[in-house]
Amino acid sequence: MKKEHEEKIIFFFQLLPLIGVWSMTLGMTGFVIYLINLSLQQADVPMAGIGISLVVVPVFWTIAGTFTYLFVGLRRGRKKEEDR
Amino acid sequence: MKDEHFGEDAVVFDPIYKSGKRFYIVLAVLLAIIFLANSMYVRQYLLGLGVTGLNNQAYWGIFMVNFVFWIGISHAGTLISAILRLANAQWRRPVTRMAEVITAIVLMIGGIFPAIHVGRPDRLINLFIYGRYQSPFLWDITAIMTYFTASLTYLFLPMIPDMAMMRDKGTKFKWLYTILAWGYEGTERQKHVLEKAISIMMVLVIPVAVAVHTVIAYLFSMTVLPAWHSTIFGPYFVAGAIFSGTAALIIVMIALRKIYHLESYLKEIHFKHLGTILLIMSLTWAYFTFSEYLTTFYPHEHHEMRVFWYKLTGEYAFYFWGMVVCNLVIPLLFLSFKKDITGVCIASIFVVIGMWLERLNIIIPSLVNPRLPYPTGSYMPSATEILIFVGSFALFCLGYLLYARFFPLITVWEVQEEREHGVEEAKKQMESYLSHPGKA
């Protein structure tokens, strides 16, 4: 019971970097969209924001995707209980 | 000496498991310097930017010089490490971790400087609420955040197998290593997943690193200030960043080699290879500098020439020629004729100084010689700016000291892998190059 509880706590902390990366990704995506929207509202020029979003958003999503792939891949690739 | 868990690599883990009194003494000294620098900043915050040497004309001083300098140093890590990995340079293995750590630390330090530079940091929030992407300043923030996230990820991924090794040893900080190991047990599937993730990041991080320093160059070249409005600034800054980054990496490696007794990992051959890269970058930097100044001189545009002569024969001549000596003459002499560890170390120290002077030469002369009909201004950094600058170096050393206290400075699993398969792989690679007439 105690071991299970410990494992849950460790899993929670292991999730934190993943949550951090996704927060950054969603935060940056939201920020870029917000600034494009702001420039449209104020009849400003949205092209700079759109140009930057074309670079930044895919980079962040690739980082987050790679991180998630690794996290899931490492968990699935663990030794089976009987092999330990 | 062999250890049950780490085998012959036990020495790499010594800073973690066997820290002595020396660690705490160095920690105290660094904290004292940082505290002093921080006090100077608090004073600047309370009294305003009047305590700095900044004035109406020189509205960017050594805070911005440091910003560009530190971000340039950050290229030491992720970019060099990624290029070496991508090129499959076998000698890279003991070098990459140290390089990646530099990036993570100096990006944080560099990123602080624009905030220190503004008189009202509390108003920085307005940049996020009312930001306009037409401003290169916002491009910078976006690029640095992207590079920082990519670099941290790229630092973390190859650390996972080492964390698992330390978790399995099961003594100090076991909980920390269990968390950071992400359940890694070294199964074939896990190795495959990890290698794939590292490969993706390795490819991704190179354009991101190039973009960051190009964007920092745009901070200058998008304006019409004399000697800033230059199309060559993007690649010039990237080349300068790799140059200063390589030099910083060499200095860090030599220092850590000595302090933590890593002589059996960081051998003379590593410094010879890095020395060659430094020499190539020195020549590349000289080429860009020559192109930059020749294209300024040839059209003889009045305002540009004012800055040109201010640097070459005027008030900044000492810094300009100092930069040339540090970045070209000394590296050329040492790296051509004395490419041992001492020679490479001396050349690297001069390059770091020279690259700082280069940033100074770019920023101040253009500001004090504007296009507007003002007399030439002047700039002298105050004690506040100098102490904050010194504090940033202490912060860098502190970052490294703390990293070495908790994590191995060498990618142990990669070194072990090299020991097991390196010779065989090199032999196979060599055989694939050999020419055998009659065979394809």
Which residues make beta-bridge pairs with B7?
Answer: B3
In a domain, B159, yes or no: yes
If one counts every other C-beta atom within 10 angstroms of the C-beta of residue A67, the result is 22
If one counts every other C-beta atom within 10 angstroms of the C-beta of residue A47, the result is 12
**Interchain CB contact of B145 with A (< 8 Å):** yes
Check CB contact under 8 Å for B183 and A78: yes
Does B41 score more than 90 pLDDT?
yes
> What is residue B31's predicted lDDT score, i.e. its pLDDT?
97
Q: What is the ipTM of this complex?
A: 0.91
Number of structural domains, chain B?
Answer: 1
Distance separating alpha carbons of residues B191 and A14, to the nearest angstrom: 18
Backbone angles phi, psi at B261, to 5 degrees: 55, 55
**Longest pairwise C-alpha distance within chain A:** 65
Confidence band, pLDDT 50/70/90 cuts, at residue B417: confident
Range of the domain at B388: 10-413
Q: How far is A79 from chain B (nearest CA, A)?
A: 7
Residues of A engaging B, defined by a Cβ cutoff of 8 Å? 10, 13-14, 17, 21, 24, 28, 31-32, 35-36, 38-39, 44-45, 48-49, 51-52, 55-56, 59-60, 62-63, 66-67, 69-71, 73-79
Does A84 score more than 70 pLDDT?
no
CATH of the domain at B296: 1.20.1630.10
Buried b (16+ CB within 10 A) or exposed e, B102-119: bbbbbbbbbbbbbebbee
Cβ contacts of B188 on chain A, cutoff 8 Å: 77
Among A28-32, B276-280, B360-364, B427-431, whose mean pLDDT is lowest? B427-431
Contact B360, B65 (CB under 8 A): yes
Question: What's the whole-model pTM score?
Answer: 0.91
In a domain, B432, yes or no: no
Cβ contacts of A32 on chain B, cutoff 8 Å: 142
Cβ contacts of A59 on chain B, cutoff 8 Å: 146, 150, 204, 208
Higher pLDDT, B119 or B275: B275
**Interchain CB contact of B38 with A (< 8 Å):** no
> What is residue B20's predicted lDDT score, i.e. its pLDDT?
80
Top residue of A18, A47, A66, A79 to mutate, by most chain B CBs within 10 Å, is A66
The tokens describing A21, both together, are 């990366």
* A59 vs B182, B194, B208: nearest CB: B208
| Nearest Cα residue to B246 out of B82, B76, B81 | B76
Does B13 score more than 70 pLDDT?
yes
> What is residue B2's predicted lDDT score, i.e. its pLDDT?
54
In chain A, where are the structural domains located? 15-76
In a domain, B68, yes or no: yes
> What is residue A82's predicted lDDT score, i.e. its pLDDT?
64
Distance separating alpha carbons of residues B392 and B115, to the nearest angstrom: 13
**Interchain CB contact of B128 with A (< 8 Å):** yes
* pLDDT-above-90 percentage for chain B: 56
> What is residue B232's predicted lDDT score, i.e. its pLDDT?
93
Higher pLDDT, B172 or B143: B143
Contact B119, B49 (CB under 8 A): yes
Contact B334, B346 (CB under 8 A): yes
Confidence band, pLDDT 50/70/90 cuts, at residue A1: low
> What is residue B67's predicted lDDT score, i.e. its pLDDT?
92
Check CB contact under 8 Å for B179 and A48: no
In A, minimum Cα distance to B151 occurs at A63
Confidence band, pLDDT 50/70/90 cuts, at residue B353: very high
Confidence band, pLDDT 50/70/90 cuts, at residue B11: confident
> What is residue B305's predicted lDDT score, i.e. its pLDDT?
94
Listed in sequence order, the DSSP H helices in B18-135 are 21-47, 62-73, 78-86, 96-117, 125-129
Confidence band, pLDDT 50/70/90 cuts, at residue B387: very high
Does B4 score more than 80 pLDDT?
no
> What is residue A83's predicted lDDT score, i.e. its pLDDT?
66
Check CB contact under 8 Å for B189 and A73: yes
**Residues counted in chain B:** 440
3-state helix, strand, coil in chain A (%, to 5): 85, 0, 15
Distance separating alpha carbons of residues B89 and B83, to the nearest angstrom: 9
Does B234 score more than 60 pLDDT?
yes
Among A40-54, A63-77, B97-111, B424-438, whose mean pLDDT is lowest? B424-438
Higher pLDDT, B2 or B89: B89
Confidence band, pLDDT 50/70/90 cuts, at residue B9: confident
Cβ contacts of B142 on chain A, cutoff 8 Å: 28, 32, 52, 56
* A14 vs B149, B182, B200: nearest CB: B182
> What is residue B414's predicted lDDT score, i.e. its pLDDT?
87
**Interchain CB contact of B175 with A (< 8 Å):** yes
Average pLDDT taken over every residue of chain B: 90
Most confident region among B116-120, B345-349, B428-432 by mean pLDDT: B345-349
Which residues make beta-bridge pairs with B3?
Answer: B7
